[in-house]
Structure 1
Amino acid sequence: MTLGQKIAWDDTILPFQLDQSDIRGRVARLDGVLEGILKQHDYPPVVEALVAEMALLTALIGQTIKLRWKLSLQIQSKGPVRMIATDYYGPDSEGRAARMRAYASFDRDRLTDGPPFDQVGDGYFAVLIDQGEGTEPYQGITPIAGTGIRDCAEAYFAQSEQLPTRFSLSFGKSTEAGGDEHWRAGGVMLQHMPKASSHVQGGGSGEGGLLGAEDIVDGEELENWTRVNMLLDTVEDLELIGPSVAPTDLLVRLFHEETPRVFESQSVRFGCSCTEERVRSSLSIYSARDIEKMTTDAGTVTADCQFCGAHYVLDPKTLGFEAEGKSGDGD
């Protein structure tokens, strides 16, 4: 393995299809993306692990959608980790990288020594798709379920989309020869191809009556789904994370009898959509009196991006709907 090969595999999402089983999937490897996300914050290790898992899921899911703008995943909970939010921005033109960002909100004093998902209490998992100006955003919500965020995502697809979906993920800090310790993540997503007549009545067999794969497909389709999942069960963490196993080699090792077919990979990088113009736009709804309350002793209004840490310092006279030049006099 050369350094160039390693870089080529990292921060990419590889779509594939198993022609024998009518199942599609993705293989994702994240390296620099996670570093870009996590270095913006001083998260405790358990929070870092949750953000890493959420980011990996977002990369895998985002590449399955024909996005014109943004996919967002959110967890809202009553646990020590109150919220995790991730955004995946589709490439703005062919051949360009997708962009990702993420952050978490938590009560440091309430964190425990248990597994990362123990920090997530009752709440919900949400998927939001915004295709941009002129479209109505979509939102789907399912309750927190299972023992990891991947279980929540699988429950969402079964319940809201009625698509059997499976994730196998691995993530953690890695140290390579001659390098510093840093976060890496890798995963495989499997999803049964959608059928035109999928609508299940009544409750499901999963936790809290949520739907499971066996409630959505049956017969030969269920046999295919079960067989492919058994093959995925044989994957090892180092195969998921790499960097010694290429995604194409991993697919051949796991699914060679299923006739895997790969498509063009999608690169992904850390990136934020915040700008001074958007900050000004978000403050345009406030009156001069409201802006005055936001003004610091230094005579400025400041704003920080929770995703990337960007710090904006603005002149209060130029903010709000009563800002200088917006009064309408002289028009």
Structure 2
Amino acid sequence: MNLGSQIAWDDTVLPFQLDASDVRGRVARLDGVLDQVLSQHDYPAQIEALVAEMALLTALIGQTMKLRWKLSLQVRGDGPARLIATDYYAPQKEGDIARIRAYASFDDTRLDASKPAFDMIGKGYFAILIDQGQGMTPYQGITPIAGGSLAKCAETYFAQSEQLPTRFELSFGKSTLAGQGESWRAGGVMLQHMPKASPFASGEGGSGEQGLLAANDLLDEDEGENWNRANILLDSVDDLELIGPSVQPTELLVRLFHEEQPRVYDPQSVKFGCSCSADRVRESLSIYSAKDIAHMTTDEGIVTADCQFCGAHYEFDPNTLGFEASVKPDDAE
């Protein structure tokens, strides 16, 4: 296989449906996105792994949503990994590329290299936030940290908050192709049972960890049989098939699910992208008084701000900031 065919599916999400199982899904491949996300920061290995897994989940989940603007995933814990946050910006029109950014906050002094990365989160919660833009009320759903991985947390979220049986199979890490340097690659498959008009679960507790709902709590006998069959087929996938680059997603779907009658739809490209801007920083500071702005002003007489996601650096005249601003931004230039 030539290089062109090897990279054709990188930074792409492919939607599909299994007609024989009443299951829909996504196959995602990320490489350049992860490299750009992680190159913005000098994260320890465990934090890099958590950010990579979260970015891959974000690509898979974001493509399933009917978004006008932004999907955000957040994990907050009481361990050394305090916060993992990602954003997925939907394409604004047909043919546009979706954008992903990610950020982590952590306490380097508390990291324990002998333990799995997920253990660095501790107790906390997994949240999905959907913001459809100006004039729309944001939605937020939260579930406890559970299951032993971020993928399992996402599965629990969909079972508990959306009552949708969901499965993720992910692989990610650094790899080296012949003639190229080391780079990040990630790949994954998301399976999700098609939504039902009347959820089967009573909502009174489930068989999952901490009494949370699990997939089998949401399906009747026939649906459960179809769902279990699709999951058993997905169990046979290996890491190299997930991350590529030699196995195309369409080939992977045929190998795994040919008896389930897979149907593919148009793929969605994704890239690293940030929404930060000077205007957005000004807007975020508009709630502060002149006294507050004075406390933020450096000895050099400026107010600075750095984007946690992309590292962009902004400098402002303090007289242009806050609700008591005495100078318009254009006049300060």
TM-score class normalised by the smaller sequence: over 0.9
Q: How does 1:312-327 map to 2 (within 5 A)?
A: 312-325=314-327
- Partners in 1 of 2:201 and 2:231 — Cα distance? 22
Among 243, 247, 250, the alignment partner of 1:248 is: 250
Among 234, 247, 251, the alignment partner of 2:236 is: 234
Among 217, 220, 224, the alignment partner of 1:218 is: 220
Q: How does 1:30-109 map to 2 (within 5 A)?
A: 30-109=30-109
Partner of 2:14: 14
Note the C-alpha offset of 1:325.
4.2
- Partners in 2 of 1:93 and 1:174 — Cα distance? 34
Partner of 2:130: 129
Note the C-alpha offset of 1:193.
0.1
- Partners in 2 of 1:263 and 1:299 — Cα distance? 55
- Partners in 1 of 2:51 and 2:200 — Cα distance? 33
Given the alignment of the two structures, is residue 263 of structure 1 paired with residue 271 of structure 2, yes or no?
no
Q: Is the Cα–Cα contact under 8 Å of residues 200 and 219 in structure 2 kept in the other structure?
A: no
- Partners in 2 of 1:214 and 1:123 — Cα distance? 25
Amino acid at match of 1:25: G
Structure 2: runs of 5 or more not aligned: 329-333
Deviations 1:183-237 (A, max 9, x none): 1100000000000001522110000001111110021110000011000000000
DSSP-derived class of the 2:64 partner = coil
TM norm structure 1: 0.97
- Partners in 1 of 2:93 and 2:195 — Cα distance? 27
Note the C-alpha offset of 1:322.
1.3
DSSP-derived class of the 1:25 partner = strand
Note the C-alpha offset of 1:6.
2.5
Q: Is the Cα–Cα contact under 8 Å of residues 201 and 219 in structure 2 kept in the other structure?
A: no
Partner of 1:154: 155
Once superposed, which parts of structure 1, at least 4 consecutive aligned residues long, lie more than 3 Å away? none
Amino acid at match of 1:282: S
DSSP-derived class of the 1:14 partner = strand
Deviations 1:267-293 (A, max 9, x none): 000000000000011111111111111
Partner of 1:329: none
DSSP-derived class of the 1:86 partner = strand
Given the alignment of the two structures, is residue 290 of structure 1 paired with residue 285 of structure 2, yes or no?
no
Partner of 2:331: none
Given the alignment of the two structures, is residue 167 of structure 1 paired with residue 168 of structure 2, yes or no?
yes
Amino acid at match of 1:292: A
Deviates more, 1:193-202 or 1:20-29: 193-202
- Partners in 1 of 2:194 and 2:3 — Cα distance? 36
Instruction: Work out the number of aligned pairs and report it.
Output: 326
Partner of 1:200: 201
Structure 1: runs of 5 or more not aligned: 327-331
> What is the aligned-residue RMSD (CA, Å)?
0.8
TM norm structure 2: 0.97
Deviations 1:131-162 (A, max 9, x none): 00111000000000011000000000000000
Q: Is the Cα–Cα contact under 8 Å of residues 200 and 220 in structure 2 kept in the other structure?
A: no
